[in-house]
């Protein structure tokens, strides 16, 4: 660390040093991956389509559509697909809060990939539980950040999970929630809520960060590999 500091001091004018040195540390140290993913061809789209295949005339909702990469890969007629995004893609140009306030339709499969901050993901999850059909499945993206930069809020990196891993911790501690996380594609959460599902909020998570995920929670999370995830969805 001290060697790196000396090199940067020699290369950069002193007036720029504090800010640029901090950014270099973030890049070289905090950008180092601490959580590794399974290396295979599965991704979130495969899991969503496997979930959809369980239901006849399935109704699908996607929160956070962006460029339609996932939404366009779901082989359902538009009458069965709802994509909610305030900026791009999908079918409904509004926030997820606005959608849930107006919605009256039950959904079989919901995929949550909206704003990657804990508070919003928590709201999306709780709202989804109100509208998920009995026996339905809720999937999530970005539950396993690999490093400090991916997890940082506000956003500091191109590949950004934010701190939505905190919702995974809460789901792991909630009542009547059959929950797993596939260790691929930034962590794909798979939730099968029971009839008596009750979401448990854990306010102490608000002040926690990537260090807490690594040291307190990661080994306790119900992570599984992709083959186990496919079997879990099929059950």
My answer on whether 13 and 112 are in the same domain is no
Higher per-residue pLDDT: 25 or 205: 205
Q: Both 87 and 199 in a single domain?
A: yes
Say if residue 124 is in the same domain as residue 15: no
User: How far is Cα 37 from Cα 183, in angstroms, rounded to an integer?
Assistant: 5
**85 and 4 both lie in a single domain:** no
Residues 11 and 51 in one domain: no
Query: Per residue in 117-173, pLDDT tens?
Result: 999 999 999 999 999 999 999 999 999 999 999 999 999 888 999 999 999 999 999
Give yes or no: residues 112 and 7 share one domain: no
51-69 per-position pLDDT tens digit:
999 999 999 999 999 999 9
Residues 109 and 211 in one domain: yes
Dihedral angle, C-alpha 208, 209, 212, 218, nearest 10 °: 120
The verdict on 100 and 216 lying in the same domain is: yes
Ramachandran quadrant class, 220 (left: phi over 0; alpha: psi -120 to 50; beta: rest): alpha
Q: What is the CATH number of the domain that holds 122?
A: 3.40.50.150
Are residues 224 and 180 in contact, defined by beta-carbon separation less than 8 angstroms?
Answer: yes
24 and 39, same domain (yes or no): no
Radius of gyration of the CA atoms of the chain, in A: 19
CA distance 102 to 96: 10
pLDDT-based confidence at 176, cuts 50/70/90? Answer: very high
Q: Do 19 and 48 belong together in one domain?
A: no
Beta bridge partners of 33: none
Tens-digit pLDDT profile for residues 35-52: 989 877 789 999 999 999
Q: Please give the pLDDT value at position 11.
A: 56
**Do 57 and 42 lie in a common domain?**
yes
**What tokens were used for 160?**
């950004």
Structural domain that includes position 14:
1-30
Average confidence score pLDDT of the chain: 90
- Number of independent structural domains in the chain: 2
Query: Looking at residue 156, what is its pLDDT?
Result: 87
Q: Which residue has the tokens 């366009």?
A: 72
**153/134 same-domain check:** yes
Q: With bands split at pLDDT 50, 70 and 90, how would you rate the model's confidence at 33?
A: confident
Q: Is pTM beyond 0.85 here? A: yes
């Amino acid at each position: 660390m001290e060697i790196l500091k000396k090199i940067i001091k020699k290369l950069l004018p002193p007036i720029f040093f504090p800010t640029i040195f901090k950014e270099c540390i973030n890049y070289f140290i905090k950008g180092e991956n601490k959580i590794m993913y399974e290396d295979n061809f599965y991704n979130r789209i495969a899991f969503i389509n496997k979930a959809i295949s369980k239901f006849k005339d399935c109704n699908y909702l996607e929160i956070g559509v962006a460029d339609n990469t996932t939404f366009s890969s779901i082989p359902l007629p538009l009458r069965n697909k709802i994509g909610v995004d305030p900026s791009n893609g999908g079918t409904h140009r509004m926030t997820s809060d606005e959608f849930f306030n107006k919605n009256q339709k039950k959904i079989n499969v919901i995929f949550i990939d909206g704003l990657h901050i804990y508070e919003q993901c928590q709201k999306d999850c709780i709202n989804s539980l109100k509208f998920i059909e009995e026996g339905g499945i809720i999937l999530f993206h970005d539950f396993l950040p690999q490093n400090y930069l991916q997890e940082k809020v506000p956003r500091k990196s191109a590949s950004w999970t934010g701190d939505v891993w905190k919702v995974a911790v809460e789901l792991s501690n909630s009542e009547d929630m059959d929950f797993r996380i596939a260790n691929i594609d930034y962590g794909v959460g798979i939730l099968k809520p029971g009839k008596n599902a009750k979401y448990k909020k854990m306010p102490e998570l608000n002040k926690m960060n990537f260090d807490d995920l690594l040291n307190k929670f990661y080994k306790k999370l119900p992570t599984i590999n992709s083959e186990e995830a496919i079997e879990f969805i099929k059950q």
